[in-house]
Structure 1
């Protein structure tokens, strides 16, 4: 099925239902359909070729979503551009993606000029909310162009529909290529995992250039209204859930931690929530349990990545409720089981699939696995070894098929000849009542090779010392995993999608060394 067909499914359910809402404006499905058709027609009239790559450079905005729909109905791959990235990073990615059309919001006009100057492939520049002398068109002028018949997009499962930055922690992002096949598989997995009871309302809280924007598009065929927040702030999120009776939303763990740490977190009504999906990174089991207490029986978790979006595995609320009884399995540490149409296994370095309980790399086979990295055959070969997609995550499966992530392969700490998985230590530390977030890394040590260090961010006005953090880990995991040192930072460095940046933390301790292990 073509990607625009998913929008038509939502349109046919109720043309007058709101599709996109932000603090300043809203569009029904019928209005979004009419506007996106005119935008697509304007692009065609302006000479946009078949398959041209279209970037949308905007903060969270309802009209930006309409422009994405327009690109999709013309068959143009969507290229997400993160507004928080430095100009040179965004320009480099647009060059890499071969982007030729750039929609932008007027609040980013100065940065847009720099990006356009550094990206010779961009030929059409459209300001979505005002007139701008640097743009080739305003959105109003583009929509007024007479296009003639706009060609139908072929129904081809291998047609490229998005080029997505991988968000790598070192260097520039690689470009992950998604096809109709990818989109079909993810959309099916989402709706089989999270079927709506009644009319769905989806909250776009995290940046639309990351998971929240993609989830909004995957929600469209169910006729979902997407409520678009400008910023991912705890109070704004809590208020929006209550005001708009939100049913579905996705948040990364760091935002969950920030909300749980807010003094007013229990003062809002979350009873409308059917699914609060935690994704983008493993969540500490103790925080996961606390979230269930605060938000109610709606908490669930998924596992995916830019190369296999969002839903390789899914941990349902029912799975978690089974784990709340005394003596029940420790599923709050799991990311769930493989979703429909997906195989997830554990593999050793020689390509052997491992039995339950054995740790190795998490690998997958699924229609949602991306086509490959754009113009990067070496990375493609590495990601496809032994005929499986390699996630780069280390984990294991239990006898019931539940997957447990213990670390990224590159984040494993080797100390005194022992392998220590940083995520396991982090999850214990995050169980401390005073801790809001933390990162565990290896730092250079003349005796141990690498020593375990915990860098901790406390909740506002909370207190803790290094000794109690170390004792907590000793009791829960044993002496080998105990951090040799603990530092308390006012704020941990985070990426634009709120992931803690271990690379930036490691730089402080490994600076000037040729090897970082």
Structure 2
């Protein structure tokens, strides 16, 4: 399936039904189809050929997301660009993607002015909602482009180029195919509850997980309710007011949701599935969330190179048949999905039996085509015929997948391997801890010293010795941090992930 096929499938069910909504206004499926045909023709008229790369730089916005389908009509490749990135990173990504056209909101005019001189391949810039120097306005650009059905034939199956993020060095561009998105969508529909026509609330950036989850919703003729900014009070109000059935939140926002005083007063009974993923989730916080919100939480595990659905833990898998919480599964990432093979591999390329820890590897139609213009990185990621995720984990006897750490985050202290995620889970059981990060710092005696940085709830106080004692009781002395620092906040990426690289750099700098 092409990206446009998801829109057209939903339109075939009811072209007048709301497709993309924000602030009480909606675009019907037919209106989004008309937009897509106009944008597709305008792209072709601007010199965009099938297979060319077109980027969108925008906050969460129905018009901007509707343009994705126009890119598909032109047979071009959608390049989502994170609007929260710094100018240098977005410039690097647009150059890496070989983008020839950029669709951008007026609010990003200063950023575009800084990066445009560095991007000679970028020949067309379109301002979606106003005007800016060096850009044509959206209305002028569309003028004369008809709304009759039209589709250019793409040269291959690549539909998306996704940047991996530059927090550990230069970003790579992941080539995703129509087959990848189709597999992800099929796995979503078969793995989670969908009763009736869904209403999906997109609070998280549509450039990331929240965006690709739109495609399976569209196949059911569902409505996508877009939030322009992550306001959790408004999020709760919208779930109640609009009868939202599905949504996605990263763990950090779920923690904030649990602290929101409005939570207790809102009716969230319409929710069928609240997806969580993109970062480890505290088992303690998950139990609290299920108790207070309901058994609607569905975990997903994936990465840009194998989007979203490597393994899943459906809402029903979070509870036993008697209604009690299945706490023993809360630290797992669920089971591998039906259309995906998942295994654990040693450093030498051998597949390991249940219970043994190694790198999580994946193969199947969910896995990317490769890294754009980077055959070396593609070969490295696909060694031994499997895609290498870079995550360390194991499969238990019941085929539940446990992710214990990123390979680069494993700490070797006194000759012992310590997985930072395990220590973080132990810290998160303390009621005063809101979030935390555990890293290894160089140490003359131990090789690496386990160091924790902790953010407390605003109304809580504790001391490092109390936290250290709590971890020691759970995990023993070897895995207990030698140093625990309490910070008012933790550095995060634009999608809410804690940046251990920044924490490490700061602490190494402070220690000389």
Instruction: Answer whether TM exceeds 0.5 for this pair.
Output: yes
TM-score range, shorter chain: over 0.9
Cα distance, 1:195 vs. partner?
Answer: 4.0
CA distance in 2 between partners of 1:131 and 1:241 (Å): 34
- SS of 1:354's equivalent in the other structure is coil
Per mean C-alpha deviation after superposition, the further-off stretch among 209-218 and 64-73 is 209-218
Alpha-carbon offset, residue 267 of structure 1: 2.1
Which stretch of structure 1 is more off in the superposition, 328-337 or 342-351? 328-337
- Counterparts of 1:396-435 in structure 2, within 5 Å, are 396-435=394-433
Higher mean Cα deviation, 386-395 or 288-297?
288-297
Which residue of structure 2 aligns with residue 465 of structure 1?
Answer: 463
Q: Distance in 2 between matches of 1:278 and 1:299?
A: 7
Query: Residues of 1 paired with 2:309 and 2:356: CA distance?
Result: 23
Q: Which whole-Å deviations, capped at 9, do the CAs of 1:125-148 have from their partners, x for residues lacking one?
A: 11111233421x221122223479
Superposed displacement of residue 410, structure 1: 0.2
Residue 60 of structure 1: SS of its match in structure 2?
A: coil
Equivalent residues of 1:176, 1:372 under 8 A apart: yes
Residue 309 (structure 2) aligns with? 311
Displacement of 1:443 in angstroms is 1.4
Alpha-carbon deviation of 1:57? 0.5
> Residue 169 of structure 1 is aligned with which of 167, 170, 174?
167
Query: Which residue of 2 is the match for residue 123 of structure 1?
Result: 123
Which residue pairs with 1:68 in the alignment? 68
CA contact (8 A) 1:346 1:361 kept: yes
Alpha-carbon distance between aligned partners in 2 of 1:497 and 1:72, rounded to the nearest angstrom: 25
Counterpart position of 1:336:
334
- Counterparts of 1:488-503 in structure 2 under 5 Å? 488-503=486-501
Give unmatched runs, 5+ long, in structure 2.
Answer: none
Shift of 1:494: 0.3
Aligned to 1:22: 22
Cα contact 2:21–2:226 (8 A) shared by 1: yes
1:2-48 Cα deviation digits (max 9, x unpaired): 22111110111111111111227421111111111111111112222
Q: Taking structure 1 as reference, are residues 309 and 387 closer, same or farther at Cα in structure 2, changes over 3 Å only?
A: same
| CA apart distance, 1:424 | 0.5
**Contact kept? 2:73, 2:150, Cα under 8 Å:** no
CA shift for structure 1 position 462: 1.2
Q: Is the 8 A contact 2:305 2:368 kept in 1?
A: yes
Q: Partner of 1:220 in structure 2?
A: 218
1:114 aligns to what? Answer: 114
**Which of 483-492 and 462-471 deviates more?**
462-471
Report the CA distance shift for 1:24/1:110 in structure 2 as closer, same or farther (over 3 A). farther
Partner of 1:171, secondary structure, is: coil
> Could you tell me which residue of structure 1 aligns to residue 11 of structure 2?
11
Question: 1:394 maps to what in 2?
Answer: 392
CA gap of 1:50–1:325, structure 2 versus 1, over 3 A, is closer
Identify if the C-alpha distance between structure 1 residues 513 and 74 changes in structure 2 by more than 3 Å, giving closer, same or farther: farther
Q: Counterpart of 1:50?
A: 50
Q: Displacement of 1:150 after TM fit?
A: 8.1
3-state SS of 1:401 partner? coil
The offset of 1:234, in angstroms, is: 2.2
Question: How far apart in 2 are the matches of 1:154 and 1:113?
Answer: 33
Distance (whole Å) between structure 1 residues aligned to residue 510 and residue 463 of structure 2: 30
Tell me the distance in 2 between the aligned counterparts of 1:331 and 1:323. Answer: 14
- Partner SS, residue 132 of structure 2: coil
Match of 1:142 in 2: 141
SS in structure 1 at match of 2:261: coil
Deviations 1:458-512 (A, max 9, x none): 1112111111211111111111111111111111000000000000000012249
Q: Which sections of structure 1, spanning at least 5 residues, go unmatched?
A: none
RMSD between aligned residues: 2.0
Q: Which residue of 2 aligns with 1:198?
A: 196
> How far apart, in 2, do the equivalents of 1:503 and 1:229 lie?
30
Task: Decide whether aligned partners of structure 1 residues 356 and 327 sit closer, same or farther in structure 2, where only a CA change above 3 A counts.
Answer: farther
Deviations 1:200-240 (A, max 9, x none): 01111111111111212342112121111112232222222
Q: Distance in 2 between matches of 1:170 and 1:329?
A: 34
Aligned ranges 1:88-103 → 2 under 5 Å = 88-103=88-103
Aligned length: 512
Whole-Å separation in 2 of the counterparts to 1:327 and 1:297 = 9
Shift of 1:241: 1.4
Which residue among 272, 275, 292 is the counterpart of 1:274?
Answer: 272
